[in-house]
């Protein structure tokens, strides 16, 4: 699977109030579509199986002409790429703006439960809700509707994962992924269901950081794109040391990481799992991220010895070659000493496709 992190193709931030012309919008959308026409392998599969024809561009061009602002047009580009339903494809924008409420949510049994709190922003004396309480609504809009509205900024290829990503964006909005994030108000009215079942309403200020972008200029910024591409390739080659010389020209196509910008997902790519390991778990690997690419060990359940290996990322910090050797050694040990094996790839953001 290829990764395309797509900045808005021919736009750069402009201090003047210069909205894009219709001609510029059409040119950008055609260029975005052209990237997929030339470089997206699963195009026919998406068209024939899922009914999305990325090259049937006229309806999108018609909608582009109806957008009333640059932000509306940016949002249309997001929707176009989201229609591929591909977790590795996003449109991102060169904005540092972020708005957050000081807590994050994830879906547990279909409910948006609070799984982290920033007490520096939400002192307990004023906001006594706790981790495990349920977010019911924000600004009068139920969570279910927020999940629907935020889905296109949160595509993860299957409905459950997309909904979980969307849940994280209800309370944390980055303009790099959500074009209208700067239009977020000064505060939000939040309804929380406590563990007791009681509903409580709070007014929470949005904490805003970074520089928002409202308008875009007409000129391309190839140097900026080239610098980002070089940095991404350098980051990839920093750990992917197993490439053969003939593979090096293709290196920029071999990184399948899910972009982490603007996401509020706990424990993404972490060496240890987010859940507690079983009682009596005997750890083998997982104490030293500098030298170990996995968490592994075993425990006994109903008289059987169960092995466990967590693969936290496909871009191991110790390098691909060392990680593969380490993994092979762990599998050999598991084959000789356990009755079963659990492989954990929960919240693994991807990496090398090799």
Mean pLDDT throughout 48-77?
95
Which has more pLDDT, 10 or 184?
A: 184
Read off the pLDDT of residues 272-286 as tens digits, 9 standing for 90 and up.
998 999 999 999 999
At 155 the three-state DSSP class reads coil
Tell me what the mean pLDDT of segment 239-259 comes to: 71
Position 302 pLDDT exceeds 80: yes
- Given 179, 209, 239, which residue is the final one in a domain? 209
83 pLDDT tier (thresholds 50, 70, 90): very high
pLDDT at res. 222: 46
Into how many domains does the chain fold?
2
Decide if 87 is inside a domain. no
Within this chain, do residues 307 and 329 fall inside the same structural domain, yes or no?
yes
Q: Residue 154: is it exposed, middle or buried by C-beta count within 10 angstroms (0-12/13-18/19+)?
A: buried
Integer Cα distance of 105 and 128 in angstroms: 16
If asked whether residues 160 and 278 sit together in one domain, one would say no
Q: Of the candidates 209, 240, 259, which is a domain's last residue? A: 209
Q: Are residues 123 and 153 in the same domain?
A: yes
Closest CA to 9 of 40, 37, 30, 23: 30
Average the pLDDT over 138-159 and give the result: 96
Is the domain of 196 the same as that of 267? no
Strand order of the sheet with strand 172-174?
Answer: 172-174, 98-100, 207-209
**Cβ pair 26, 3 in contact under 8 A:** no
* Structural domain includes residue 80: no
Contact 204, 190 (CB under 8 A): yes
Contact of 285 with 297, CB cutoff 8 Å: yes
pLDDT at 76: 97
Question: Does 315 share its domain with 341?
Answer: yes
Dist. CA 335–CA 341, nearest whole Å:
9
**115 against 237, higher pLDDT:** 115
The answer as to whether 63 is a domain residue is no
Residues spanned by the domain of 202 = 98-209
Q: How confident is the model at residue 137 (pLDDT cuts 50, 70, 90)?
A: very high
**Is 21 among the domain residues?**
no
pTM: 0.70
* pLDDT score at 52: 95
**Whether residues 246 and 161 fall in one domain:** no
At residue 12 the predicted structure's pLDDT band, cuts being 50, 70 and 90, is very low
The answer to whether the beta carbons of residues 266 and 281 sit under 8 Å apart is no
Instruction: Report pLDDT for 82.
Output: 96
pLDDT for 51 equals 93
**231 and 251 housed in the same domain:** yes
Mean pLDDT of 169-188: 96
The pLDDT-based confidence of 229 (bands split at 50, 70, 90) is low
Establish if 74 belongs to a structural domain: no
User: Which tokens is 186 given?
Assistant: 């000064």
Segment 65-83 mean pLDDT: 95
Tens digit of each residue's pLDDT (9 = 90 or more) over 336-353: 999 999 999 988 887 776
More confident residue, 3 or 351: 351
Flag whether pLDDT at 198 surpasses 90. Answer: yes
Whether the CB-CB separation of 185 and 203 falls below 8 Å is answered with no
Residues 133 and 196 in one domain: yes
- 188, 206 Cβ separation under 8 angstroms: yes
Among the ranges given (149-158, 207-216, 251-260), the one the predictor scored with the smallest mean pLDDT:
251-260
CATH assignment at residue 104: 2.30.42.10
First to last CA, the chain: 11
Nearest to 7 by CA among 214, 222, 215, 172: 222
- pLDDT at 249 (0 to 100): 74
Asked whether residue 105 is assigned to any structural domain, the reply reads yes
**Residue 10, C-beta contacts closer than 8 angstroms, at least 6 positions apart:** 24, 27, 28, 31, 218, 219, 220
Does residue 128 belong to any structural domain of this protein? Answer: yes
pLDDT at position 230: 67
Do 225 and 350 reside in the same domain of the chain? yes
- Do 225 and 354 reside in the same domain of the chain? yes
**Same domain assignment for residues 197 and 238:** no
pLDDT exceeds cutoff 50 at 4: no
Instruction: Say if 239 falls within a structural domain.
Output: yes
What is the model's pLDDT at position 243? 73
CA distance 149 to 141: 10
Domain-terminating residue out of 180, 209, 238:
209
Whether 15 shows a pLDDT value over 50: the answer reads no
Let me know whether 249 and 227 are in one domain. yes
């Amino acid at each position: 699977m290829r990764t395309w992190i797509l900045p808005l193709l021919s736009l750069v931030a402009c201090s003047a109030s210069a909205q894009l012309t219709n001609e510029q919008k059409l040119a950008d959308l055609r260029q975005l579509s052209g990237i997929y026409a030339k470089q997206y392998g699963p195009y026919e599969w998406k068209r024939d199986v899922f009914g999305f024809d990325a090259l049937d561009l006229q309806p999108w061009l018609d909608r582009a002409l109806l957008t009333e602002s640059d932000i509306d047009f940016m949002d249309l580009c997001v929707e176009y790429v989201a229609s591929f339903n591909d977790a590795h494809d996003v449109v991102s924008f060169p904005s540092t703006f972020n708005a957050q409420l000081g807590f994050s949510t994830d879906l547990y049994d279909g409910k948006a439960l609070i799984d982290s709190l920033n007490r520096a922003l939400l002192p307990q004396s004023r906001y006594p809700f706790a981790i495990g309480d349920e977010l019911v609504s924000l600004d009068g809009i139920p969570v279910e509707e927020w999940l629907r509205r935020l889905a296109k900024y949160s595509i993860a290829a299957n409905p459950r994962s997309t909904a979980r990503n969307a849940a994280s964006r209800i309370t944390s909005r980055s303009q790099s992924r959500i074009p209208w994030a700067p239009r977020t108000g000064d505060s939000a009215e939040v309804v929380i269901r406590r563990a007791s079942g009681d509903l409580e309403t709070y007014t929470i200020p949005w904490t805003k950081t970074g520089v928002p972008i409202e308008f875009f200029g007409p000129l391309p910024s190839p140097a900026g794109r080239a610098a980002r591409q070089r940095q991404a390739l350098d980051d990839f080659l920093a750990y992917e040391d197993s490439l053969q010389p003939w593979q090096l020209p293709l290196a920029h196509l071999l990184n399948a990481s899910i972009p982490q910008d603007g996401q509020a997902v706990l424990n993404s790519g972490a060496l240890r799992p987010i859940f507690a390991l079983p009682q009596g778990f005997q750890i083998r690997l997982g104490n030293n991220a500098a030298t170990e690419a996995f968490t592994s060990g075993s425990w006994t359940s109903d008289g059987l010895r169960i092995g466990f290996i967590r693969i936290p990322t496909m871009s191991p910090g110790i390098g691909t070659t060392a990680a593969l050797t380490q993994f092979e050694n762990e599998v050999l040990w598991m084959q000789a000493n356990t009755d079963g094996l659990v492989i954990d790839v929960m919240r693994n953001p991807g990496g090398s496709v090799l």
